[in-house]
Amino acid sequence: MFLPAYALLFHPVLMSLHGRLLPMHAPIYPRRGSAALRRGRCSEQGRIYLVTFTTHRRARLYDDWTCARAVARALHERRLWRDSILLCWVLMPDHWHGLVQLAGGDTLSTLIGRVKTVTARAARTGHTSDPVWSSGYHDHALRRDEQCIAVARYIVANPVRAGLCDLVGEYPFWDAIWLKG
């Protein structure tokens, strides 16, 4: 609910978004944060998205090689992606980047929810039931003129930029469809 500033002059008491009464001097602000960003978000079939999400509280879960390997295996499960295509990805110690082409009627939020669920289950194997991923994610829909290969190179070079390795090939937790013959 958005009210112009002058509306406060005419209403001594207003209802907040949660149904509570607000005195006249209480400011009314629109919803903020990631929830506001998701409002109006639409998913376009066939569109390529750069997606990033972080671990819960930026915990460095994937410094543990066994845990990272389990998540990497889960990312290769075909049932996870259904008709959508995972073009490339990198699993960093505290976050994941992926380049995804959306297809098959999934919305981006449904697909990301499924990815987080399956990979969290894999990451928890033999560990606690603590949350694995943070609740939100960042996405960027590639424009038609953006170079998909250039974005993919940027993604897979992330471990080099972070100082985790000297060459992309030295880092084990990434993949790109262009490598497969």
Judge whether residue 173 has pLDDT over 70: yes
Q: What is residue 129's predicted lDDT score, i.e. its pLDDT?
A: 79
Beta carbons of 137 and 51 less than 8 angstroms apart = yes
pLDDT in tens, 145-163: 789 999 999 999 999 999 9
pLDDT in tens, 24-73: 444 444 556 555 555 556 899 999 999 999 999 999 999 999 999 999 99
Beta carbons of 109 and 41 less than 8 angstroms apart = yes
Element (H, E) at 165: none
SS3 132: coil
The top-level CATH class assigned to 48-179 is: alpha beta
**Mean pLDDT (whole number) for 164-177:** 97
Q: Give the predicted TM-score (pTM) of the model.
A: 0.77
Confidence of residue 127 (pLDDT cuts 50, 70, 90): low
Q: What is residue 146's predicted lDDT score, i.e. its pLDDT?
A: 83
How many CB atoms sit inside 10 A of residue 61's CB?
22
- Looking from the CA of 9 toward its CB, the CA atoms found within 13 Å total 3
Distance of CA 45 to the CA centre of its chain: 17
Element (H, E) at 21: strand 21-23
**Mean pLDDT (whole number) for 136-151:** 92
Confidence of residue 109 (pLDDT cuts 50, 70, 90): very high
d(CA 75, CA 59): 20
d(CA 118, CA 82): 13
SS3 180: coil
- Give CATH 3.30.70.1290 domain extents, the chain: 48-179
Q: What is residue 179's predicted lDDT score, i.e. its pLDDT?
A: 84
